[in-house]
Amino acid sequence: MKLKINQFVLNNKFLIAGLLIVLLLFFSRNFKPEKNEEPIVIESQKIEENQKYGYNLDNYFVVKDTIRLGDSFGEILQKNNLPYSKIYQIAENTKDIFDVSRLKVGKPYTILISKDGTNEPLCFIYEQNKIDYLVIEFCDSIKIFEEKKPFRIVEKTAIGFIESSLSETMEKQGLPIELIYNMSDDIYAWTIDFFRIQKGDSFKVIYKQRFVDGNVNAGIESIDAAYFKHKGESIYAFNYITPDSKNQTDYYDYNGKSLRKAFLKSPIKFSRITSRYNLKRRIAYYGNVVRPHKGTDFAAAVGTPILATASGTVVESTQRGGNGKFVKIRHNSTYSTQYLHMSKRMVEVGDYVKQGDVIGKVGMTGNTSGPHVCYRFWKNGRQVDPFRQKLPDAKELSDDYKPDFLNFIKPLKQQLDSIK
């Protein structure tokens, strides 16, 4: 059998070779190698829009400026080709939400103007602060609304050693001005007499700061904890919210006692004492005779707000002799306070005022050689030196909140103590 097959192959070798060639040509024509085709990528062109305040500013002519002394809403828009009739309509339609007559000098504003050939203003944007801004649209209908710029919050710490004053020390370190005000006028306003801080006093603080448009300071978000060493005494302050406080924060010391006292140390923010309570004071102008000074004089510019140092009821608001214009407040059956030489009284007899409310403005009425407020303090009907009184403390945290409070402040105290 094997022999017969070999003989067949020999006799037909040319035929077989031909068939192999035909088959090879057939498959070579019909075989197409598989291609590794890569997916087609269509690159989308990224369009960088000039977005701000929720608008693409490239779609408008943009006018940017700040409110100047003497500027008014109407004059600004009239200069930019908006008719007075439209301005009046805008003012009337927005007055319940925002009074356009109260634009503040120095605040930035932006006007968006149409590019359709009419050059008509379509929108007025007023920056109330670094974050909040007001938008008034008047292209078709009049709309007014408030918005916020996106911002980020950064936690920061600081430490300082007093050389002369708290403000000078903080300013030298480049710390935000709001931090100075919050430390002196809010956190420690009841516990530290900042007119008597001395070289060697020190502070530490943990705070959160807001930033917009990259690294532009937009103010203090919160002060979470602080430490002040004054005359050798260490005073901690922790920002804590009790469950029943309706999200109102208060500052407590390490033992859970509120730093908020019954009376503020001063009726004026960031003033200086020019004359203290002194029953043996002699004045050269009056021939060096003894003329007791039963008040504490806080110097400040005319018009500076005067604050009620404690809550109470106004029992006098009048003008009389050397006292000039003054206000007297009865706080309880023991304590009253009096504020002399005002340029303007802002409360009336019978009004109830809260601690920190503005009750008048600094002036020079009555017998005075310069603008100041003479602060008088009455205890049981007798004028006394407020800085020598043991005044009532504020409330202490209840025992129900103490465990949560102590757990809350533990990491903050550790962080404060580690600041070097």
Give the CATH number for residue 281: 2.70.70.10
289 compared with 207, residue with greater pLDDT = 207
Per-residue pLDDT, averaged over 292-308, amounts to: 91
pLDDT for res 41:
35
Query: 361: pLDDT confidence band, cut at 50, 70 and 90?
Result: very high
Report whether pLDDT(250) > 50: yes
Using one digit for the tens of pLDDT, what is the confidence trace for 19-44?
A: 555 555 444 444 444 443 333 333 33
Is 366 inside any structural domain? yes
Between vectors from CA 291 to CA 289 and to CA 293, what angle results, nearest 5°?
A: 150
For residues 208 and 185, state if they share a domain. Answer: yes
pLDDT for res 398:
84
Using one digit for the tens of pLDDT, what is the confidence trace for 68-83?
A: 999 999 999 999 989 9
Average pLDDT along the chain: 84
Query: 166: pLDDT confidence band, cut at 50, 70 and 90?
Result: confident
Domain containing 58 — which CATH number? 3.10.450.350
pLDDT for res 410:
96
348 compared with 46, residue with greater pLDDT = 348
Report whether pLDDT(51) > 90: no
Query: 119: pLDDT confidence band, cut at 50, 70 and 90?
Result: confident
Per-residue pLDDT, averaged over 113-138, amounts to: 92
For residues 318 and 351, state if they share a domain. Answer: yes
381 compared with 389, residue with greater pLDDT = 381
For residues 380 and 294, state if they share a domain. Answer: yes
For residues 288 and 225, state if they share a domain. Answer: no
pLDDT for res 13:
52
* Lowest-pLDDT range of 56-70, 247-261, 295-309: 247-261
Is 170 inside any structural domain? yes
Is 316 inside any structural domain? yes
For residues 246 and 212, state if they share a domain. Answer: yes
Per-residue pLDDT, averaged over 36-57, amounts to: 57
Domain boundary among 148, 181, 203: 148
Query: 101: pLDDT confidence band, cut at 50, 70 and 90?
Result: confident
pLDDT for res 19:
55
Per-residue pLDDT, averaged over 330-350, amounts to: 93
Domain boundary among 129, 148, 167: 148
* Lowest-pLDDT range of 127-141, 191-205, 229-243, 399-413: 191-205
pLDDT for res 287:
63
The three-state (H, E, C) secondary structure of the chain, written as one string: CHHHHHHHHHHCHHHHHHHHHHHHHHHHHHCCCCCCCCCCCCCCCCCCCCEECCEEHHHCEEEEEECCCCCCHHHHHHHCCCCHHHHHHHHHHHCCCCCHHHCCCCCEEEEEECCCCCCCEEEEEEECCCCEEEEEECCCCCEEEEEECCEEEEEEEEEEECCCCHHHHHHHCCCCHHHHHHHHHHHCCCCCCCCCCCCCCEEEEEEEEEEECCCEEEEEEEEEEEEEEECCEEEEEEEECCCCCCCCCEEECCCCEECCCCCCCCCCCCCEEEECCECCCEEHHHCCEECCECCEEEECCCCCEEECCCCEEEEEEEEEHHHEEEEEEECCCCEEEEEEEEEEECCCCCCEECCCCEEEEEECCCCCCCCEEEEEEEECCEEECHHHCCCCCCCECCCCCHHHHHHHHHHHHHHHHHCC
For residues 123 and 182, state if they share a domain. Answer: no
pLDDT for res 304:
94
Which neighbouring-strand residues pair with 250?
Answer: 240
Per-residue pLDDT, averaged over 104-112, amounts to: 95
pLDDT for res 263:
86
* Lowest-pLDDT range of 98-102, 162-166, 167-171, 186-190: 186-190
Query: 285: pLDDT confidence band, cut at 50, 70 and 90?
Result: low
pLDDT for res 30:
47
Is 20 inside any structural domain? no
Per-residue pLDDT, averaged over 194-219, amounts to: 89
Is 35 inside any structural domain? no
For residues 228 and 284, state if they share a domain. Answer: no
| % of the chain surpassing 90 pLDDT | 50
Q: Residue written as tokens 């503005």?
A: 358
pLDDT for res 204:
96
Is 78 inside any structural domain? yes
Report if pTM > 0.85. Answer: no
pLDDT for res 180:
84
Question: Do 205 and 164 contact (CB within 8 A), yes or no?
Answer: no
For residues 112 and 138, state if they share a domain. Answer: yes
Query: 269: pLDDT confidence band, cut at 50, 70 and 90?
Result: confident
Domain boundary among 148, 180, 204: 148
For residues 303 and 335, state if they share a domain. Answer: yes
pLDDT for res 396:
78
For residues 377 and 283, state if they share a domain. Answer: yes
Is 258 inside any structural domain? no
For residues 143 and 160, state if they share a domain. Answer: no
Give the chain's domain count. Answer: 3
Question: Do 311 and 355 contact (CB within 8 A), yes or no?
Answer: yes
Is 247 inside any structural domain? yes
Q: Please give the residue range of the domain that contains residue 339.
A: 272-388
For residues 239 and 343, state if they share a domain. Answer: no
pLDDT for res 283:
62
340 compared with 95, residue with greater pLDDT = 340
